[in-house]
């Protein structure tokens, strides 16, 4: 199969080159996916530049989220069949024509989305769901405060919180980012470089859950 390798192990975008690797095979509890699209995440950029090495045992090929069709199923897999349209979260190896994935980390592509749209769902959607809804317990009618609201996680959190019936207060740096967060659905969007955040958040009634990707210890 064709894959995208990093020439020299690290470098700029120009270091990404097409290469060939053996076709992977799905083992027990795994599925083989014919990759149609792959997401690009900050860890991919950091790994490409040499600042974020893959963990032991993970693929040296970039790519943490993909969308495509099931091309094979391993022993013990009953939920998926060859031909199913899916998206998936993986520990690396997405920048390739085929990828082996833990069957538990695979989801059906939502109706109405194409492969490119579906490929960017797993990383941010799983992160927001785990932190905001499972960990934070956000419910309809409550208020979510999002710092760094125009990051990948932030823009997803705004939309998921609004879809769940919550109120959203967003903070970001700069008027343009504040405007963008408002356009995504934030009820209140504050410029962290100009507004008095504490006063305005208190005036809005505070928050039930806070999603903070920029604060220090």
Nearest to 34 by CA among 2, 76, 69, 73: 69
pLDDT digits (tens, 9 = 90+) for 175-211: 999 999 999 999 999 999 998 999 999 999 999 999 9
* Alpha-helical regions (H) of 96-166: 115-119, 122-128, 152-163
Residue 67 has pLDDT above 90, yes or no: yes
Specify whether the CB–CB gap between 171 and 149 falls below 8 A. yes
CATH fold of 125-212: Rossmann fold (3.40.50)
Residue 57 has pLDDT above 90, yes or no: no
Confidence of residue 82 (pLDDT cuts 50, 70, 90): very high
CATH tag, 2-119 = 3.90.180.10
In the chain the first and final C-alpha atoms are separated, in Å, by 44
Specify whether the CB–CB gap between 146 and 211 falls below 8 A. yes
Report how far residue 178's alpha carbon sits from residue 191's, in angstroms, rounded to the nearest whole number. Answer: 6
Parse the chain into domains and list their residue ranges: 2-119, 125-212
What is residue 110's predicted lDDT score, i.e. its pLDDT? 94
Compute the residue count for the chain: 217
Residue 216 has pLDDT above 90, yes or no: no
Q: Which residues contact 49 (CB under 8 A, 6 or more apart)?
A: 10, 11, 12
């Amino acid at each position: 199969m064709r894959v995208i390798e990093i020439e020299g192990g690290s470098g700029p975008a120009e270091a990404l080159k097409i290469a060939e690797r053996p076709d992977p095979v799905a083992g027990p509890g795994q599925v083989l996916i014919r990759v149609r699209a792959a997401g690009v995440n900050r860890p991919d950029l950091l790994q490409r530049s040499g600042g974020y090495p893959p963990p032991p045992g993970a693929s040296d090929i970039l790519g943490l989220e993909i969308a495509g069709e099931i091309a094979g199923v391993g022993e013990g897999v009953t939920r998926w069949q060859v031909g199913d349209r899916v998206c998936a979260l993986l520990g690396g190896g997405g920048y390739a024509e085929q990828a082996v994935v833990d069957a538990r980390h695979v989801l059906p592509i939502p109706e109405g989305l194409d492969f490119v749209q579906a490929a960017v769902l797993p990383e941010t959607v799983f992160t927001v769901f785990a932190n905001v809804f499972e960990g934070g317990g956000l419910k309809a009618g409550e208020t979510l405060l999002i710092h760094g609201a125009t990051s990948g996680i932030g823009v997803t959190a705004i939309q998921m919180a609004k879809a769940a019936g919550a109120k959203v207060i967003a903070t970001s740096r700069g008027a343009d980012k504040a405007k963008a967060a408002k356009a995504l659905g934030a009820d209140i969007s504050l410029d962290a470089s100009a507004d008095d955040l504490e006063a305005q958040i208190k005036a809005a009634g505070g928050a039930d859950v806070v999603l903070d990707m920029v604060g220090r210890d």
